[in-house]
Structure 1
Amino acid sequence: MSIRFDDRVAIVTGAGGGLGRSHALALAARGARVVVNDLGGDVRGEGGSASAAEAVADEIRAAGGEAIAHGANVTDEAQVADMVAAAVSAFGRVDILVNNAGILRDKSFTKMGMADFETVVAVHLTGSAVCTKAVWDIMRDQAYGRIVMTTSSSGLYGNFGQANYGAAKMAVVGLMNTLCLEGAKYNIRTNCLAPVAATRMTEDLLPPEAASLLDPALVTPAVLYLAGENGPDRTILSAGAGGFARAVITETDGVVFKPDAATPEAIAEHWAAIDDRDSARELKAGGEQTMKFLSKAAALQGIKIGG
């Protein structure tokens, strides 16, 4: 089965270099018309230039594809609205959004000012929400949409010096979870990519010998899969160095106590059962957790809930 994007229109944010450039080029090579977005700032999000996005759009056109460039700041609703309007004007629709734009302002939490915390969260989380909001009704009305958020192992598992980045990257998983529920009836599928690649954002974090193995092009197949017509929904796909794995958030079955027995001491005494990983499963909505505890508590106390 060949995954193609003929007649599809894709917006890729932060596509002036690194992972975003790789994603944009690959989508175009498989038939997509691409909006190459990049503010053109540095890794901290400072400065700006249209040249990076224009260069990638030129690459796509030189290879026979169709592309336009746009320098919208993903946190600015008016600029993003203009970018989406430009996409619709040029190509008639928007089918795919890859939220890739990001910055780093690494410091240990004790040394991190709240301005750096808020700025990083704004780009990764709010920027993803702003861009998604701008295309959501278009995708809903055409009954088709594929959205790829970019999370990170720093959010899923933690990374020293990246409290701001990790918080934002875990937050987009929560955004994905709800968008999957709201978009299902409109054929809008939302997934997350957790990439590791040698880019300007990681050049100070990775040893030189690792960089040769971490080509961004080896991550991009994950984006093509997630953004495909038959791609999944509500999936966190990790990718790097040609390897791919699925990250899953699970919850143990747990233990329910009667009200007069629900104490911290009881939790400590029954911790092995509460923490029983063999009973863990993936929940698909917050209400599943509510119903799990309600049904167990009702059965324990002989209470009938509902009809």
Structure 2
Amino acid sequence: MSKLLEGRVAIVTGAGRGIGRAHALELARHGAAVVVNDFGVSLAGEKEDSPAHDVVAEIESFGGRAVVNGADVADFAQAEAMVRQAIDTFGGLDILVNNAGFVRDRMLVNTSEEEWDAVIRVHLKGHFAPLRHAGAYWRAEAKEGRQRAARVINTSSGAGLQGSLGQTTYSAAKAGIAAMTLVAAVEMGRYGVTVNAIAPVAKTRMTDGAFDTSEMALPEDNSPIVAWLASEEAGDVTGRVVEIDGSVITVENGWAHGPSRDNGTRWEAGAVGPALRELLAEAPAPEPVYGTGG
């Protein structure tokens, strides 16, 4: 097997189980040294033993290089220390795969403030903090004439792109990650950094029990796409969101300007209805929210 990532250094967050574990193993098989981050939390976010040591042992069993990291990725200082661990242990950092997260699904009117804060924190801030510190390192490297072919792969979701019934908080966080990806790709491109996101589909502990998962793809089905996006070969691809569903990969279009009308002057409320209805008739219908049966 060709090794796309020989000599490169990666961080994978939430890599103790599921999709993150599959990413860490795939990157290592392609030659990357991997910081295997896992804070060790249950599906609902309660602290428990982390399986990151098992993932590192598995990587080492086939001759790969890996180290355990137990940072809470949404803690700003711990995220900085995680980036520093990669640099100090392996001599640099080339790849950041932001994957960590959990769910606390509720209908909107049943969602508590604590549940909202916890999910937004781990997904949205848990992407921002590692990206911010990795980005600062890559900027410093570029300014010193050592620009790296750096790659960021964030984790959004169909819930964040089309919405998902009963997952208002999770959908909002994942939509924020998609927008963060677009902006970071523009801001960090000058330092040699590409920033993309995936919207993975897989049978994991996050999907078990939520709906029928018997026909869902496996976690490892997503990882080859991540490995390619993490490679030097992918330097011309940035600011993109790719949905992965087993053997199918789809480039998501996201929000785009649709039909418009210039009134030439300030709109009067009474005229808005007819004009907006005509524009809605011209626009494509939105894709249905997941879980609505559309």
TM-score, length of structure 1 as denominator length: 0.85
State yes or no: 1:179 paired with 2:184. yes
In structure 1, how many angstroms separate the alpha carbons of the residues matched to 2:54 and 2:257?
A: 46
Tell me by how many angstroms 1:172 deviates: 0.7
For structure 1, list consecutive stretches of 5 or more residues without a partner in the other structure.
Answer: 279-307
Matching of residues 13-28 of structure 1 within 5 Å: 13-28=13-28
Indicate the SS of the match to 1:4. coil
* 1:256 maps onto 2:259 in alignment: no
Larger radius of gyration: 1
Q: Is the Cα contact below 8 Å between 2:203 and 2:218 reproduced in 1?
A: yes
Alignment match, 2:241: 236
Cα distance in 2 for residues equivalent to 1:234 and 1:107: 31
C-alpha offsets along residues 189-221 of structure 1, whole Å, 9 cap, x if unaligned? 1111101100111111232522xx411111112
The residue identity in structure 2 corresponding to 1:269 is P
In structure 2, C-alpha distance between the alignment counterparts of 1:131 and 1:175, rounded to whole Å: 13
Which residue number corresponds to residue 73 of structure 1?
Answer: 72
Number of equivalences: 274
In structure 1, distance between residues paired with 2:213 and 2:33: 35
Alpha-carbon distance between aligned partners in 2 of 1:27 and 1:56, rounded to the nearest angstrom = 12
Partner in structure 1 of residue 88 of structure 2: 89
* Paired amino acid for 2:13: T
Q: Which has the higher contact order (CA 8 A, sep 6+)?
A: 2
Q: Measure, in 2, the Cα distance between the counterparts of 1:167 and 1:137.
A: 26
SS in 2 for 1:209: coil
**Any idea what the Cα deviations from partners look like across 1:232-274, whole Å, max 9, x if unmatched?**
10111000222111111221151111114x2344333233653
Residue equivalent to 2:33 = 33
Q: For residue 13 of structure 1, report the CA deviation from its aligned partner.
A: 0.2
* Alignment partners' CA distance in 1, 2:239 and 2:112: 33
Q: Percent identity, aligned pairs only?
A: 34
Shift of 1:2: 5.6
- Provide the C-alpha distance between the structure 2 equivalents of 1:181 and 1:163, rounded to a whole number of angstroms: 28
Partner of 1:294 in structure 2? none
Q: Are 1:14 and 1:38, in contact at CA under 8 Å, matched by a contact in 2?
A: yes
Among 152, 159, 165, the alignment partner of 1:160 is 165
Is the Cα–Cα contact under 8 Å of residues 159 and 167 in structure 2 kept in the other structure?
yes
Q: CA RMSD in A?
A: 1.8
Displacement, 1:4? 0.3
Moved more, 263-272 or 145-154: 263-272
- Could you tell me the TM-score, scaled by structure 2's length? 0.88
- Aligned pair 1:197/2:213, yes or no? no
Separation of aligned partners in 1, 2:48 and 2:268: 55
Looking at structure 2, the residues matched to 46 and 209 of structure 1 have their Cα atoms a distance apart, in angstroms, of 27
